[in-house]
Amino acid sequence: MTTFHCAVLVRPGSVTERVRIETDPAGTIVNIVTGVEAALGDVCLATVVPGFATAHSHAFHRLLRGTTHADGGDFWQWRDAMYRVAGLLDPPLMFLIARAVFAEMLVSGYTAVGEFHYVHHRADGAAYPARHAMELAIGEAAREVGIRLVLLDTCYLDGGIAAPLSAQQRRFGDGSAAGWLSRWHSLRDAIEGEGVTLGAAIHSVRAVSPAAMAEIRDGLDTGTPLHIHVSEQPQENIDCIAAYGHTPVGVLAGLGMLDPRLSLVHATHLTPADRALVGAAGCSVVMCPTTEADLGDGIGDAHGLASAGARIAIGSDQNAVIDPLLELRGLEAGERLSSGRRGRFPPAALLDAGTRAGYASLGISSTVLAPGDPCDLVEIERTSLRTVGSAADQLVLTATASDVGRVIVGGRIVAEGGRLTAGATGPHVLLAEALAAVAAA
């Protein structure tokens, strides 16, 4: 059993001093005692917040950071560049990239990641000789660095509504919903364990037909977290209405798929009726503010969705920025810019979005730092140039990833001072190795 003593513990809506957190050998919290001094053998931490979750990540998109800004364009132009990078991937390269990105996430304060993964096969669409080679490479990368991974294995069948997969997309597909389900069920037995679990995703209404979505709905366990890109671009809404007579949310509602286990990613261009449906169903909505800003997607109505009853989480998406605190600040900044009002999401609500809501979206835990929850913690420096003078409960609006100290996942210190504790490796070293391998590909 490991015991952590937090001088200050900041949870959504509360700040508590002198807190001891006791864990079992599996890194699960068994007891929390407040108002006590540190005891011999305690791991002593200063100011601590719950571990952050990026509930939506495409690790390999990190390769595009700093390379796509010179030519302008829009999301669709950026997507062409992304497809070119996807064409380079193989399992060894995927391992190097995922390991580097997951390491960067850890030292930045993310303790859990939902990896929305759709690059399943060889470039020609043929399966790898070693079954699940791509997926197992991602799982091994997460285990090596120590981040908690929910692999959101993604169904991607069509190149657009009623259109075949393009040559660039061929490696994403499994032929049919039945083919994807067969591979998904086999993958679960192969990948789960040691901090890795399997979730599911439908890429979008552009990539999976309503009939195929219904088949997936019926073929998954009801407890499996299910994610889907929704209304990231206005064109998706236009095409969906033309084909099906409904918005993407309307299609999902008609299939009976709007429920608390479903997470809608982006949800940038929803109608008022869409927002009401999503909120009434208690869905999660994973906003990715830094990506949505970088790609010029627009500002989604996070406040309206939360007010309607949706649970708001965050994702790093293309990983152009890996910093949960900047992601949360971007969420509130978008609200301020669109509404002209401050404090649309008070600090407690932002911390909840970055921690509890993300863990719930990924099916890890519905509470935060309570007995039975994983002991995932992040220490925040309160005397840096950015944070000195900040109230503990407002650090979420002043700190950045540069202020992250020790990071604990499952009761184990996995990062400290910008480095992984295993081998004291800096993520920049792993990133350089991955980029060199890409250049040689």
Distance CA 19, CA 280 (A): 37
Q: Is 297 a catalytic residue?
A: no
| E strand segments, 130-241 | 148-155, 196-202, 226-230
DSSP state of 28: B
Give the integer Cα–Cα distance in Å for 431 and 141: 13
Q: Which of 239, 317, 373, 376 is catalytic?
A: 317
**CA quadruple 18, 22, 28, 29: dihedral, nearest 10:** -50
DSSP string, 309-357: TPEEEE--BT-SS--HHHHHHHHHHHHHHHHS-S-SS-HHHHHHHHTHH
CA-CA distance, 231 to 250, in Å (whole number)? Answer: 11
Q: Has 266 been annotated as catalytic?
A: yes
Query: In terms of Cα–Cα distance, which of 408, 322, 364 is closest to 149?
Result: 364
**DSSP assignment string, 236-285:** HHHHHHHHHSS-HHHHHHHTT--STTEEEEE-TT--HHHHHHHHHHT-EE
Catalytic residue (one of 61, 117, 266, 303): 266
Residues noted as catalytic: 266, 317
